Amino acid sequence: MASLRRLGPDDWASFRDIRLRALAESPDAFASTLAREQAFGEDDWRTRLTGPVYAVADPEPVAVGGLFDADGVFHVWGMWTDPAHRGRGHARRILDALIPADADAVLDVNVNNEGARAAYERYGFVGTGRLEPLREGSEQRVELMVLRR
Ligand SMILES: CC(C)(COP(=O)(O)OP(=O)(O)OC[C@H]1O[C@@H](n2cnc3c(N)ncnc32)[C@H](O)[C@@H]1OP(=O)(O)O)[C@@H](O)C(=O)NCCC(=O)NCCS
């Protein structure tokens, strides 16, 4: 049975592995890029794991996601499930662990990413219509989604 656990700085190597797989497999799902993060050193990876990041491990991580606090707004980032493990509730378990009970949260989803959007809508997020470039100079757009409860 796959287990949910919080990753900390000492998990940096296994987090790096799944994060680089995510960026390679879903290059348009994230603001960051594989090339940028392939250049990260151990300290960069450790720093990323000082905030909440949860993984479903089987026994190595097969799904991952994080949360950061931007001026009091919880922002979900880096959600990715290995394609062979999708549709098993891993993202739902990770979101449950990341977002404090009763708290609101936001995330950005690529307007072309119908699968992720459907998953977030099932979870309770709704689109806001607020669009931004995926990353600087990109013609792709992400939409801000919010979870209100
Ligand atoms: C989006 C993603 C993280 C979902 O991961 P997952 O582990 O397969 O999701 P879950 O199995 O927890 O599904 C959660 C809910 O969404 C639904 N769902 C998941 N994928 C779906 C899809 N493609 N279409 C419709 N509904 C979907 C599930 O049925 C489930 O609903 P339920 O709990 O009411 O039955 C995964 O598809 C993924 O990694 N996509 C590529 C990367 C990406 O787009 N990341 C998001 C960046 S914003």
Q: Hey, what domains does the chain have and what are their CATH numbers?
A: 3-147 (3.40.630.30)
**Distance in Å, CA 147 to ligand 1 centroid:** 16
CA distance 147 to 123: 8
The pLDDT value given to residue 18: 98
Cα of 103 vs centre of ligand 1, distance in Å, is: 21
Q: Is the pLDDT confidence value at 147 over 80?
A: yes
Q: What is the pLDDT of residues 9-33, one digit of tens each?
A: 999 999 999 999 999 999 999 999 9
Q: Whose CA is nearest to atom 10 of ligand 1?
A: 89
Give residue 149's pLDDT band: very low, low, confident or very high (50, 70, 90): confident
| pLDDT attached to residue 38 | 98
Query: What pLDDT score does 42 carry?
Result: 98
Instruction: Convert the pLDDT of each residue in 29-65 to its tens digit.
Output: 999 999 999 999 999 999 999 999 999 999 999 999 9
* Model pTM score: 0.97
90-137 residue pLDDT tens: 999 999 999 999 999 999 999 999 999 999 999 999 999 999 999 999
3-state helix, strand, coil in the chain (%, to 5): 35, 35, 35
Q: Which atom of ligand 1 is nearest to the CA of 76?
A: 48
pLDDT score at 54: 98
| Residue 1, pLDDT above cutoff 90 | no
**Cα 32 to Cα 35, 72, 97, 132, distances in angstroms:** 9, 22, 23, 14
Beta-carbon contacts of 131 under 8 Å, excluding residues fewer than 6 positions away, are: 111, 141, 142, 143, 144
**What spacing in Å lies between the alpha carbon of 122 and ligand 1's midpoint?**
9
To test the ligand 1 pocket, which listed residue (79, 99, 117) has its Cβ within 8 A of the most ligand atoms? Answer: 79
Distance (Å) from CA 20 to ligand 1 centroid:
19
